[in-house]
Amino acid sequence: MNHRVRILILINTLAFAGVLWVNYLANALPLNGKTTGALSNQYPNLFTPAGLTFSIWGVLYLWLMVFTAVCLWGLFSAKTLQRVAPAVHQISLYFALGSLLNIAWIFAWHWEQLALSVVIMIGLLASLVTLNRQLYQPDSTSPTWIKIPFGLYQGWITVALIANVTAWLVAMGWRGGVVGEGLWAVLMITAGTIIALFFGTKQRNIGHVIAVLWAFTGIVLKRNGAPEDGSAIVAGAAIAAIGVLVPVVTSFFRKKRTTV
């Protein structure tokens, strides 16, 4: 069993290292002459949050780096390996698969293959949903500090997929169709809220909820007082969604405190 765990740790570590390297190149070179953020700005829409919101990637990657480092230390420490083995088994190769899809998405996005980027991101989200379902099984012994970053990852990719689909539609000349851009953004916020409520209440995946809350906060910051038509209603919808989701987070930590 320990041999399989070691192999999984090595595969997942190499795949995640690839994500960090390609993300660095994407903005340092940048890939295809444009940064990730600059490309996002090419497809303006009312759902995209403020730029500072994307700093969540730094927090997420740092947390996953800590997890990966602890797992690597398990290759040299039997005690550490015993502690991380249950989580490594549950994560299996889904982390590596998600990392490869993350890399593929970056290339598709930077070469402006938006339809392909949507398909890849659907695959990435599916791998994360499967991974989190394993981590959040009722009999799971994986600690909260391991569960939360993968929940954050899933929640953020859920929001990113909505934004990616919207950017693809904008690239094709779509401006909200019969519903209009404002109502479309409100509908997407509603969808994101319902999904977050599901994972937050049924799965107790608090990381997912926190990521969505952060994204909606970014929407409020960007849309509050913005001149574009529909900005006020979008900001209002995001504020309402935050009001719905905050109690889920507070309830989670309140229950955690009472069980300690």
pLDDT category at 173 given cuts 50, 70, 90 is very high
Residue 150 predicted with pLDDT over 70: yes
pLDDT category at 1 given cuts 50, 70, 90 is low
Residue 260 predicted with pLDDT over 60: no
Looking at residue 226, its pLDDT comes to 84
Residue 175 predicted with pLDDT over 90: no
pLDDT category at 255 given cuts 50, 70, 90 is confident
| Mean pLDDT along residues 99-120 | 98
Residue 161: give the domain boundaries. Answer: 2-31+44-255
29: left (phi > 0), else alpha (psi -120 to 50), else beta? alpha
Looking at residue 2, its pLDDT comes to 84
Residue 256 predicted with pLDDT over 90: no
Residue at 260 is within a domain: no
Residue at 143 is within a domain: yes
Residue at 97 is within a domain: yes
Residue 259 predicted with pLDDT over 70: no
Residue at 38 is within a domain: no
| Mean pLDDT along residues 200-228 | 95
Residue at 151 is within a domain: yes
Residue at 37 is within a domain: no
Residue at 122 is within a domain: yes
Residue at 72 is within a domain: yes
Provide, rounded to the nearest whole percent, the portion of the chain with pLDDT above 90: 88
Looking at residue 258, its pLDDT comes to 66
| Mean pLDDT along residues 150-160 | 98
Q: What is the pTM of this model?
A: 0.95
Q: How many domains does the chain contain in total? A: 1
